[in-house]
Structure 1
């Protein structure tokens, strides 16, 4: 290692967040976790594990919750560790980091559903950072404001022509120690369950040093909806692998590609089904009854 490399931080481990429901990715996420979807022939989470291991990061922990048993095969196949987040259905993603707070040091924090067209991981990192891509025009993502050094000074949900948070994060040991202390101090406050960990960070941004690290939009992808995935992987246009969509296509005599604009139906924060557009007609599908109903105009 060179003299310059000695100033870098050696990555100790990685945490992959895979506990959530991903309700916007209906109906596939109702049938199995989004991170187990195949994209361009590779399972999302498997591709990310391989990229981490190729960068020399062997200590990988996957935090699971929703349909946790479906992740068990990864232990034998990739020698990863599984940790359960039992609060995944009642708390936001901060609970995933709380479940592994003892493991946070010089640590990559990864979302299990990200797709990287090239390997973004490195064995040595200079500073704690959140990856970002540039969005032209209006966006509803977290928009980043920085000083001249790239230090994040503020975040705002929504904006235009801005660098936005997307992809992996690196916590330095200094950042981790301070963030865990803050997380522990606010965990039992009544407003905390609904907060993203990013919101907790923002509430204490003056105490936490995090930089914005820029990437091309051609490198980092996240698929919030099936429609977004279809734009990236054409295999999903006519065959999604969803038994629900297959049944719907038979019921209304259409192709799966005709089922568009799928959005979840929620009642008291519980996803009960989804709405969709089929040949210019609006429908609702209810999971419990397995019924497709044409919406009244």
Structure 2
């Protein structure tokens, strides 16, 4: 059955410690890459797919994001007061009431192909690109129908590399919000929110891989990776 995205949740609460000193005074999603802030490239990509209802979860240097709700219609901010104490389950916990037919993204990546954010989708699941070789990223494995049957969180090969772009039906969103709230209230603070559907309650979800090409998204985890894309940052690694 076809579904249509109602809204987006962008995770932007993190400290960005691996990007210091750039993030000493600027949240990582607001770092410019070739002139454009990462999170703004995501907002513009969502707009191209007619997704205008956008919630940004802030934490570290939250006030730096205030201009976004003024610059873009439909953008609202939710503050995560737990950002410096708990893992990112806390960000989805504070935004759980926003879950509908929802796309969830991290704010510190570059979307080179907006079509992967298409508002039309069939099943809940994560964006993934096929990898034959070993990768240290989370690797999803599927059955012949494309359903996720396992995930190697410590790396793997011959599987689908998981990216932090996921889409959720209203039915699965209701379960996701319920389980995130349950784990958070049980003080399971140190997990990723993705652990909830992928591991802790995997039997409650039927996830698919939303197949993408590895060039469609770039996740930037270090200044060195950033400098390879934007040469103006090479001074930080030389």
Report the TM range for the smaller structure's normalisation. Answer: over 0.9
3-state SS of 1:29 partner: coil
Query: Hey, what does 1:246 align to over in structure 2?
Result: none
TM-score (norm. length: structure 2): 0.93
Q: Is the 8 A contact 2:58 2:80 kept in 1?
A: yes
Deviations 1:141-189 (A, max 9, x none): 1111111111111111212343211131101111111111212222122
1:1-20 residue pairs with structure 2 within 5 A?
7-20=1-14
In terms of fraction of residues, the more strand-rich structure is 1
1:124-135 residue pairs with structure 2 within 5 A?
124-135=120-131
Comparing 132-141 with 161-170, which one deviates more in the overlay?
132-141
1:96-107 residue pairs with structure 2 within 5 A?
96-107=91-102
In the alignment, which of 146, 163, 170 is matched to residue 150 of structure 1?
Answer: 146
Report the RMSD for the aligned CA atoms in angstroms: 1.4
3-state SS of 2:150 partner: strand
Deviations 1:48-107 (A, max 9, x none): 111111211111110101000000000110121001011111111111111111110100
Could you tell me which runs of 5 or more consecutive residues in structure 1 were left unpaired when the two chains were aligned: 1-6, 239-255, 259-297
1:163 aligned to 2:160?
Answer: yes
Could you tell me which runs of 5 or more consecutive residues in structure 2 were left unpaired when the two chains were aligned: none
Q: Is the 8 A contact 1:167 1:221 kept in 2?
A: no
Q: Is the 8 A contact 2:8 2:105 kept in 1?
A: yes
Query: Hey, what does 1:121 align to over in structure 2?
Result: 117
Counterpart-to-counterpart distance in 1, 2:212 and 2:182: 33
Cα offset for 1:227? Answer: 0.6
Cα offset for 1:257? Answer: 4.2
TM-score (norm. length: structure 1): 0.75
Q: Is the 8 A contact 2:224 2:237 kept in 1?
A: no
Query: Hey, what does 1:221 align to over in structure 2?
Result: 218
Q: Is the 8 A contact 1:24 1:224 kept in 2?
A: yes
Query: Hey, what does 1:242 align to over in structure 2?
Result: none
Distance 1:224 1:184, change over 3 A: same
In the alignment, which of 66, 76, 83 is matched to residue 60 of structure 2?
Answer: 66
Question: Which protein is bigger by CA-based radius of gyration?
Answer: 1
Q: Is the 8 A contact 1:132 1:167 kept in 2?
A: no
Query: Hey, what does 1:91 align to over in structure 2?
Result: 86
Matched pairs, number: 234
Query: Hey, what does 1:203 align to over in structure 2?
Result: 200
Query: Hey, what does 2:45 align to over in structure 1?
Result: 51
Q: Which has the higher contact order (CA 8 A, sep 6+)?
A: 2
Query: Hey, what does 2:190 align to over in structure 1?
Result: 194
Cα offset for 1:135? Answer: 3.4
Q: Is the 8 A contact 2:223 2:237 kept in 1?
A: no
In the alignment, which of 12, 35, 38 is matched to residue 41 of structure 1?
Answer: 35
Cα offset for 1:29? Answer: 2.0
Deviations 1:20-62 (A, max 9, x none): 1121222212221111111122111111111111211111110
Query: Hey, what does 1:180 align to over in structure 2?
Result: 177
In the alignment, which of 134, 141, 145 is matched to residue 138 of structure 1?
Answer: 134
